[in-house]
Amino acid sequence: MQSFSTRGLYHCSIRTMYRILHEHGEVTERRRQLRHPVYAKPELIADSPNQVWSWDITKLMGPAKWTYFYLYVIIDIFSRRVVGWSVADTESAALFKPLFQDAADKHDIAPDQLTLHADRGPAMTAKATALLLADLGITKSHSRPYTSNDNPFSESHFKTLKYQPQFPKRFGCIQDARTFCRAFFDWYNQDHHHLGIGLMTPDQVHYGQADAVYHARQKTLDRAFQKNPGRFVNKIPQPPKKPTAVWINPPAYKSAVQA
């Protein structure tokens, strides 16, 4: 197809006309469309406890179809320790406020010390939550929409919870849910040897026992090596590495170095 004027003059092909229009910024969407904001990728690092906490809410199925309880969990991303949790009938920023306030008080969180990371659920982005964090001097951070990898520690923790063999399909009442969660979180913090923190428990890492645990394990391995070196190949065995630093979305240069 070619482009002609009404006077019988040939100007150019249609493709050429579109190229000229494009060069002058004339080829644009004529309809009014919703423009989505561009969200920055969160990049957070913690090299000790109480620097970055992550929180989220998950549903627990109730006694009947379409009934749920809501489990709120705050986790320290460095130690993996659950520093606060509650089970409620609803999802609400008003219910999160006393939970977070209590956790911050128990861990002596000072202004400008902590970053709190969450996804973009209604309770997480509510004005009441933002005002609470501003009053306490807490830096807030949010995942990008529909990007579960931006909140990996909370997502992983909920998977650990729900893949427990004892986790029931449904809870008979909210007290049943609270009883189960209380026992689970006690086990998780005190007895669960977490692969992501060198097979230590969250409490050991959170309360500064990582060095002592690591050295005790090394002594045990040294004795095993001295007793029977033929069991080991090439070198004295070493325990799993101690946790040093944890990232949410490490920068590209760091990822390239680790690769």
Closest to 205 measured CA to CA, from 216, 215, 194: 194
DSSP strands (E only) in the chain: 2-4, 10-13, 44-46, 52-61, 68-76, 82-88, 115-118, 139-142, 246-248
Instruction: State mean pLDDT over 138-161.
Output: 91
The pLDDT assigned to 122 comes to: 93
Dihedral, CA of residue 74, residue 75, residue 81 and residue 87, to nearest 10 = 30
Tokens of 101: 């306030």
The pLDDT assigned to 244 comes to: 92
Is 245 inside any structural domain? no
Is 251 inside any structural domain? no
> At 25, is the pLDDT very low, low, confident or very high (cuts 50, 70, 90)?
confident
Is 134 inside any structural domain? yes
The pLDDT assigned to 257 comes to: 46
pLDDT of 256 > 60? The answer is no
> At 147, is the pLDDT very low, low, confident or very high (cuts 50, 70, 90)?
confident
For residue 102, the SS3 value is helix
> At 173, is the pLDDT very low, low, confident or very high (cuts 50, 70, 90)?
very high
What length is written for the chain?
A: 259
Is 155 inside any structural domain? yes
Average pLDDT along the chain: 90
Which domain covers residue 61, as residue numbers? 44-197
User: Cα separation of 38 and 79, whole Å?
Assistant: 32
> At 116, is the pLDDT very low, low, confident or very high (cuts 50, 70, 90)?
very high
The pLDDT assigned to 71 comes to: 98
The number of distinct structural domains making up the chain is 1
Q: Which residue has better confidence, 68 or 32?
A: 68
CA angle at 227 for the pair 226 and 232, rounded to the nearest 5°: 70
Percent of the chain whose predicted confidence (pLDDT) is above 90: 73
> At 1, is the pLDDT very low, low, confident or very high (cuts 50, 70, 90)?
very low
Tokens of 45: 């690092």
Is 188 inside any structural domain? yes
The pLDDT assigned to 235 comes to: 83
Is 13 inside any structural domain? no
Closest to 97 measured CA to CA, from 115, 207, 105, 89: 105
pLDDT of 102 > 80? The answer is yes
> At 18, is the pLDDT very low, low, confident or very high (cuts 50, 70, 90)?
confident
Is 36 inside any structural domain? no
Q: Which residue has better confidence, 36 or 190?
A: 190
CA angle at 207 for the pair 115 and 187, rounded to the nearest 5°: 95
User: Cα separation of 130 and 85, whole Å?
Assistant: 19
> At 163, is the pLDDT very low, low, confident or very high (cuts 50, 70, 90)?
very high
- For residue 116, the number of C-alpha atoms closer than 13 Å in the C-beta half-sphere is 28
- Tokens 């990371």 found at: 117
Closest to 121 measured CA to CA, from 51, 49, 70: 70
- Tokens 């049943």 found at: 176
Secondary structure (DSSP) of 202-256: HHHHHTT-HHHHHHHHHHHHHHHHHH-GGGSSSS---PPPPP--EEES--HHHHH
pLDDT of 255 > 70? The answer is no
User: Cα separation of 30 and 32, whole Å?
Assistant: 7
- The pTM score is 0.82
pLDDT of 259 > 60? The answer is no
pLDDT of 2 > 80? The answer is no
Q: What is the CATH number of the domain that holds 83?
A: 3.30.420.10
